[in-house]
Amino acid sequence: MSERLVVLAPNWLGDAVMALPAFADVRRYFPSAHITVAARPSVAPLFPMVAGVDAVITLPGGGGWRALTGWSADVRALSAEPFEIAILFPNSFATALIASRAGITERWGFVADGRGSLLTRSVSKPRRQVHQQAYYQALTTALGMPPGPPFARVWPDAAKARQILRDIGLDLDEPFVVFAPGAAYGRAKQWLPERYAELADSIINDRRGTVVMVGSNADRSACEDINRRVRPKGNRINRLIDFCGKSDLPTLAGILGQAAAVVSNDSGAMHLAGAVGTKVVAVFGPTNEARTSPLASGPDAPQPVVITHDVFCRPCMLRECPIDHRCMRRIEAATVLEALS
């Protein structure tokens, strides 16, 4: 009889994408197992687009402090299936608690957050800072699973995405660039709206291209700010299209997969763009590109381009810049435009 495994996914989209190489290691090591991914509602729609996932369970309890009151709902969700092994990618105590209370016999994960007694196979975290992809693969490697290549691949519905793009007026015979100007972590991660607008003007007016902006509802103000600043010349078909807040995760993946390139801050959309095989130009400010740069989708896929401006205070990892945001302010639109060539 084949094993029934459940992999508890990270709670953030970017982290979930960076965990995909480790998930691929699990899949290869257990080729005949039935593997379910359990994930929060915001991340769960990613996994039907990932090869090797047999089923997805949405954990309703919530992450962070919400886990204190919602863990019982998560236990009920996990208890509905007779899992033999749980592999825990998140480090939280709550993740180990719900796997234990759900009656899963084997619970494997990093020793963290005081949860060692809840694990049946515990792994020490890497002693040095590594890329988040390598961090997750350090877990699977320590569990005896040979590490595969550091690629993250997501397979969106291309036909659905193309129809949506036609519906919003795009000529799919003409290449377009996607902007993802938001960032859930905080405003310090966001490249300046005036720089995005300057870049859009160059793409639209000089390169005769079209720009589509994407993001969540929380990113709408950033997209609206950019939209107000863009000045297309003449009566042009090419234009800036604000699609922010109008797509779910599978639709977003599909749109990113149809783009010629994606310009993004360090965000979940950035990681998703790399995973669908699109060229990514990632603008990094306060965060550390050595730990969270986007992954390519395969050996023949476009390699992501990371743009930074070195200043004494980066990477500070702050949500808000206490001085003049120089790490982002000093990245010019011309620099990003050149990276798109």
In a domain, residue 150? The reply is no
Question: Tokens in use for 49?
Answer: 């687009």
Supply the pLDDT for residue 135.
98
Supply the pLDDT for residue 173.
87
- Let me know whether 118 and 170 are in one domain: no
What is the pLDDT confidence band of residue 1, given thresholds at 50, 70 and 90?
very low
Structural domains in the chain (count): 2
Is 50 exceeded by the pLDDT of residue 247? yes
- Let me know whether 117 and 178 are in one domain: no
Residue ranges making up the domain that contains 184: 158-340
Percent of the chain residues topping a pLDDT of 70: 95
- Let me know whether 137 and 180 are in one domain: no
Query: 3-class SS at 287?
Result: coil
> Average pLDDT for residues 329-335, to the nearest whole number?
97
Cβ atoms within 10 Å, residue 34: 15
Instruction: Give, in order, the Cα–Cα distances in Å from 41 to each of 12, 47, 63, 332.
Output: 10, 11, 10, 37
- Let me know whether 103 and 165 are in one domain: no
In a domain, residue 147? The reply is no
Residue matched to tokens 């000089």? 206
| pLDDT tens-digit readout, 136-172 | 999 999 999 999 999 999 999 999 999 999 998 888 8
Q: Report the CATH number that the domain containing residue 22 is assigned in CATH.
A: 3.40.50.2000
In a domain, residue 55? The reply is yes
Supply the pLDDT for residue 67.
58
Query: 3-class SS at 211?
Result: strand
What is the pLDDT confidence band of residue 43, given thresholds at 50, 70 and 90?
very high
- Let me know whether 271 and 329 are in one domain: yes
- Let me know whether 121 and 182 are in one domain: no
In a domain, residue 148? The reply is no
From the list 264, 256, 337, the residue with the least C-alpha distance to 301 is: 256
| pLDDT tens-digit readout, 254-301 | 999 999 999 999 999 999 999 999 999 999 999 999 999 999 999 999
Supply the pLDDT for residue 64.
59
Torsion, Cα of 161, 166, 172, 173 (10° steps)? 150
- The maximal CA–CA distance of the chain, rounded, in angstroms, is 68
> Average pLDDT for residues 58-70, to the nearest whole number?
70
In a domain, residue 10? The reply is yes
Among 109, 142, 175, the domain-final residue is 142
Instruction: Give, in order, the Cα–Cα distances in Å from 270 to each of 65, 196, 201, 266, 323.
Output: 26, 15, 21, 6, 26
Residue 109 φ/ψ, nearest 5 degrees? 180, 180
From the list 275, 284, 283, the residue with the least C-alpha distance to 302 is: 275
Query: 3-class SS at 179?
Result: strand
Instruction: Give, in order, the Cα–Cα distances in Å from 52 to each of 5, 25, 215, 239, 249.
Output: 12, 11, 28, 39, 19
Among 111, 142, 173, the domain-final residue is 142
- Let me know whether 98 and 192 are in one domain: no
Supply the pLDDT for residue 177.
97
- Let me know whether 202 and 280 are in one domain: yes
Average pLDDT, rounded, for the chain: 93
In a domain, residue 136? The reply is yes
Tell me the C-alpha distance between 84 and 89, whole Å. Answer: 16
Torsion, Cα of 150, 181, 331, 329 (10° steps)? -130
Supply the pLDDT for residue 255.
97
Size of the chain, expressed as the number of residues it contains = 341
Question: Tokens in use for 211?
Answer: 């720009």
Supply the pLDDT for residue 123.
95
Percent of the chain residues topping a pLDDT of 90: 85
Supply the pLDDT for residue 187.
85
- Let me know whether 226 and 78 are in one domain: no
pTM for the structure as a whole? 0.95
Asked if 93 and 116 count as a contact pair (C-beta separation under 8 A), the reply is no
| pLDDT tens-digit readout, 105-139 | 999 999 999 999 999 999 999 999 999 999 999 99
- Let me know whether 164 and 125 are in one domain: no
- Let me know whether 113 and 178 are in one domain: no
- Let me know whether 112 and 211 are in one domain: no
In a domain, residue 153? The reply is no
Among 86, 107, 142, the domain-final residue is 142
In a domain, residue 313? The reply is yes
> Average pLDDT for residues 221-247, to the nearest whole number?
84
